[in-house]
Amino acid sequence: MTTDPFGWARSLETLFDQVWTRLSRGVHDRHAPARHPTLATVSTSGRPQARTVVLRAADKGNGTILVYTDLQSHKVAELRTSPFAALHIWDSGAHLQIRLAASASILTGTDVAELWRKMPDHARMAYGSTPSPGIPLSDALGYTKIPDPEAFAVLHLTIDSIDVVHLGPNHRRAEYCRAGGWAGHWLAP
């Protein structure tokens, strides 16, 4: 008797649960594929932008995700102009592509003070650099990093829809929408 290791891909409900299981692993396991999603945004000139981010929280009940960033980074400026974000994860072990369409709120200052207070010193080093991220330098190391709570921002991503593709022996694709109560339906892959 053999067991299908990807049996969870066969029903809309178990596939949805698997997505959130993988997202949760990304938050808690630094080696999980969902630890480092690609965040895509639209630049102020209307071009797509994509970069690696770290998944900090994933709340299945609310359908929300948290990502931390430097307030001076280009992605913050982009999300202020167009709040739409896409998060992409390719989990090769599960043969699973997870695509989240989301809307971003940018939290700063007192809204994130508690998260900052709990953050260890080495982690704070990622927030606050002179010059700001993306500014040209004459020397590769011509920048300084000094932790600055005013440079710490949290992207609060409210998921609008989830598109999942499972590339098992059979290819399956499903979409789940907040507006549909996350009920889900199959799509042609």
> Between residues 42 and 115, which has the closer beta carbon with respect to a copy of itself?
42
Beta bridge partners of 85: 102
Q: Which of 85/112 has CB closer to a copy of itself?
A: 85
C-alpha 171: how far from chain center: 24
Query: CB 132 → a copy of itself: shortest distance, Å?
Result: 6
Distance in Å, CB of 9 to a copy of itself, minimum: 8
3-state secondary structure of 147: coil
The structure tokens listed for 46 are 């209307």
- Pairwise CA distance, residues 43 & 2, whole Å: 49
Minimum distance, C-beta of residue 188 to a copy of itself, in the bound complex (Å): 5
Of 36 and 56, which CB lies nearer to a copy of itself in the complex structure?
36
Residues within the interface to a copy of itself (CB under 8 A):
10, 36, 38, 40-42, 46-52, 82, 84-88, 90, 97, 99, 101, 129-143, 170, 172-175, 185-189
- b (16+ CB within 10 A) / e for 51-71: eebbbebbeeeebebbbbbbb
**For a copy of itself, the closer CB: 69 or 129:** 129
| Residue with tokens 């990093």, as numbered in its chain | 145
